[in-house]
A and B are shown apart, each in its own frame.
Chain A
Amino acid sequence: MAELRAELVELLPRLRRFARVLARDAHDADDLVQTAIERALAHAGQLRADAPLAGWMFGILRNAWIDEQRARGRRGRVFAAAELGEQVADPAHGAPLETLAVQDAVARLPQEQRLAVALVLVEGLSYKEAAHIMEVPIGTLTSRLARAREALQAMLGERDGA
């Protein structure tokens, strides 16, 4: 267990990044990470010795995110585009414009496409690993990824002059 905790500490920066792609808002993202850690420690016995911890944790975090989205839906708290716009304009964040534009474009993707982007483009996982975490066939993953790329390019294209 001590070993698991040490590995989790090492993994925290990547978990936070993964959650940030999904949830956008830094506080919401850290809430997701915290939920995932608590679930992981409660079910540590289910981690197979030969399975990579990162993949297992991404799966737990993904499930926590989906649960959270469903709960939000039930409460009627769905992100509106205007709400996203306000976050982009938040000067306290201080990130370069291009970074904000990309984050904003990713946040506008449908959930399943955003997940594919987070796992493959940001985390650099293989198609096989990503499809396993998303619990879909590889063909489904690649078509979501292709649609996500088209959408991102359409949203970002004007800025690049491409």
Chain B
Amino acid sequence: MTFSDETLNAYVDGELDAATRAALEAAMTTDPQLAPRIARQRALRAQVRAAFAPVLTEPVPERLLASVRGAPGRAGNVVAFQARPRPRWSWPQWGAMAASLIVGVLLGPLLLRPSAPQAPLETSGGRVLASGALAGALSQQLASSQPPGAPVAIGVSFRARSGGYCRTFLLREAQPLAGLACRAGPAWQVVALAQSELPGTGSGYRQAGSALPPAVSRTLDELILGEPLDAAGESTARAAGWKP
């Protein structure tokens, strides 16, 4: 079965229906041409997005704030209320992102699990960090050689624009969770987490694709620099302790 460029684009844009997506993902395991074509489209999307991302963190000109307030020409006025938008997060500030990108997941039961197996998440200084088996898998497990059915499946690993390493993962809880964690010193900070629609099976490519929940794949698009690591790159990064 061959796939048109438009079909691959729709896959990268998260617009394929489930049946076509499944057929495409199945074909990826047999057609060696397919994965690089998809990776190119994904990289282009990330590249274009990244080129305009800095605009989000620029200070908003006062004249625009004044026009929203409907008071052009009163620029010298003291701003009595909080009209100025909060600064948006920038690359190194994972912390500010954490809360907003955890979508549809009740954190309580994951944080406060009373006994074994150990909770997969913990909080520290307002950040959500990987813990227990999740932290172990993020540090040690390679997508290229992971046991099927392991409690944690690693998806893609990549270098973020901030320089550090990040990895996507699937947590095979009763209700599977997909997420994205970035190396923060000795820990892994969970920067995106959402309910996974997929059963916890499949190869690295499955989770690398748009099968990731939108909140997680959007975060990936925002953060990724270039293309995901291949098996050799992943192995090298692990050997270096995920230090950039």
- Name which of B4-12, B22-30, B168-176 contacts chain A: B4-12
In the complex, what residues of B have CB within 8 A of residue A9's CB? 65, 68, 83-85
On whether the beta carbons of B54 and A153 are closer than 8 Å, the reply is: no
> Which residues of B (51-90) have their CB < 8 Å from a CB of A?
51-58, 60-61, 63-65, 67-70, 83-85, 88
**Is B68 a contact partner of A5 (Cβ separation < 8 A)?**
yes
A122: chain B residues at CB < 8 Å are: 48-49, 52
Q: B54 touches which one: A38, A95, A98 (CB < 8 A)?
A: A95
Interface membership of B235, Cβ < 8 A:
no
In the complex, whether B127 has a CB less than 8 A from a CB of chain A is no
Known: A5-B69, A37-B67, A127-B13. A17 touches B6 (CB 8 A): no
Whether the Cβ atoms of A156 and B85 lie closer than 8 Å is no
**Are B52's CB and A38's CB within 8 A?**
no
Q: How far, in whole Å, are A106 and B52 apart by their CA atoms in the complex?
A: 10
Contact A146 B48 (CB under 8 A): no
Question: Is B40 an interface residue when CB atoms closer than 8 A count as contact?
Answer: yes
Interchain CA distance A99-B47 in the complex, whole Å: 8
Q: At the interface, yes or no: A63 with Cβ under 8 Å from chain B?
A: no
Asked if A111 is at the interface of the complex by the 8 Å CB criterion, the answer is: no
B218-A10 in contact (CB<8A): no
For the complex with contacts A99-B54, A127-B10, A149-B44, 20 further pairs of A-B residues with Cβ separation under 8 Å are: A12-B60, A12-B64, A13-B55, A13-B57, A20-B55, A34-B64, A37-B64, A41-B68, A95-B54, A98-B51, A102-B48, A106-B51, A120-B13, A122-B48, A122-B52, A127-B13, A143-B6, A146-B6, A149-B9, A160-B43
Chain A contacts to B: CB under 8 angstroms: 5, 8-10, 12-14, 16-17, 20-21, 30, 33-34, 37-38, 41, 95, 98-99, 102-103, 106, 117, 120-122, 124, 126-127, 142-143, 145-146, 149-150, 152-153, 156, 160, 162
Q: Which residues of B contact A (CB under 8 A)?
A: 5-6, 9-10, 13-15, 40-41, 43-45, 47-58, 60-61, 63-65, 67-70, 83-85, 88, 218, 221
**12 contacting pairs across A/B (C-beta < 8 A):** A10-B85, A12-B64, A13-B55, A17-B53, A17-B56, A30-B64, A98-B47, A99-B50, A121-B45, A124-B221, A146-B9, A153-B40
